[in-house]
Chains A and B, each alone.
Chain A
Amino acid sequence: MIDHESVRQILASYRDASAGERAAADAHSASCRECAAARAAYDETDALLLSARDPALPPSLSRPLAALIADRGAEKPRAAFGFAFRGGLAPAAIILVVLVTLSALLWTVNRVDAPVTSTPTLTSTLTPTTISARQTGSALAAALRSAPLPGFVPTPAPAPAPRGNLGPLFAGSAAHATMTH
């Protein structure tokens, strides 16, 4: 059994319905007043639409195609941007340019007038645990003795045992410093 809505859908595009659909819709609408009225309304719609008068052609479309192509071809360089610009891109581009210019100006003014409020400081997070230095000269030992660092205990380096011809290299060894935390 076919329902009213399906029948009306078939009736609305009856021209393109299959033979089976037409037969079903015909049988139904013969015995259903509402669907018969809908059918009459659709037929009236078709008649109204067919009789609708088309608007007159504007002059630009009344000419041969060659004239249209010649015209639009002549404005080709504009067409690439012109079609979009006529659609409203031109104002958008103008606003964008103004905004970019203003932003650039503001940035420049801020950069020139900005006061120096602070100076950057570098903070080391390195904490040495043990430093061991061995120096051949006496400069380091002397420096450490005159201004010892907290926790920095200079101890005299043990006199190295002369070993072959390397002895002169260690002859001036003055300090062996150890710092412990």
Chain B
Amino acid sequence: MPEEQESDAQAQQVAELFEQHRAAVFAYLARMTRDAALAEEVTQETFLKVYAARAKLPGIENARAWIFRIAINTCSTTLKRNRRFRWLNFEDAEGEGARSANDSQRQLMEHDAVERALGALSEEYRAPLLLFGHYGFHVAEIADMLGISEGAVKTRVYRAKEMFIRAYRQGEVE
């Protein structure tokens, strides 16, 4: 296949992957960041990175896991950077709209007992729990995505489930 046609086919493939996985990626990022505007930005960045790396697609066995790994890395970098500069951050005109959307998202999340219980977990435990319990990834895939051992994933999933159910039941009582 000529190079140009091949690139077109890969671009088409990325467009299809975007249609299939954008909602899941955005939802994961919204739950991880607890910030809808940031999750939206990171989702966009993720798929732009996927598009830029489309030449790798023929060698990718599990495109969904690959996309999630890119999303997790992008999210991690963004969160670190935001924490580093949070004390300097000024509100701008764009920020106002994003903040109100964010507030409504937060209200939606905090209204739901499951989301509240998830929010009670630190990122270290929330990520493997969501990837395992909500998205159905295997332990080996999660280990690869998070850059930790399979044993560490199992331990975190176990502890996360213990913490989650405690937080959930406590939330129901309240």
Find out whether the CB atom of B88 lies under 8 angstroms from the CB atom of A91: yes
Residues of A within 8 A of B (CB): 8-9, 12-13, 15-16, 38, 41-42, 44-46, 48-55, 57-58, 60-61, 64-66, 68-69, 72, 83-84, 86-92, 95
Partner of A58, one of B36, B47, B88, B138: B36
Size of chain B's interface in residues, with CB distance under 8 A? 55
The interface stretch among B55-63, B65-73, B105-113 is B105-113
Find out whether the CB atom of B134 lies under 8 angstroms from the CB atom of A12: no
Are A55 and B26 CB-contacts (below 8 A) given A9-B158, A42-B161, A69-B48? yes
A139 to B7, CA, bound (A): 97
Q: Could you list 7 examples of A-B contacts with CB < 8 Å?
A: A9-B154, A12-B154, A41-B161, A50-B133, A55-B109, A87-B78, A88-B85
Which residue of chain A has its CB nearest to the CB of B129? A49
A interface footprint on B79-121 (CB within 8 Å = 1, 0 otherwise) = 0011011101110001000000100010011001011011000
Residues of B within 8 A of A (CB): 14-15, 18-19, 22-24, 26-27, 30, 36, 40, 43-45, 47-48, 51, 78, 81-82, 84-86, 88-90, 94, 101, 105, 108-109, 112, 114-115, 117-118, 129-130, 132-134, 138-140, 153-155, 157-158, 161-162, 164-165, 168
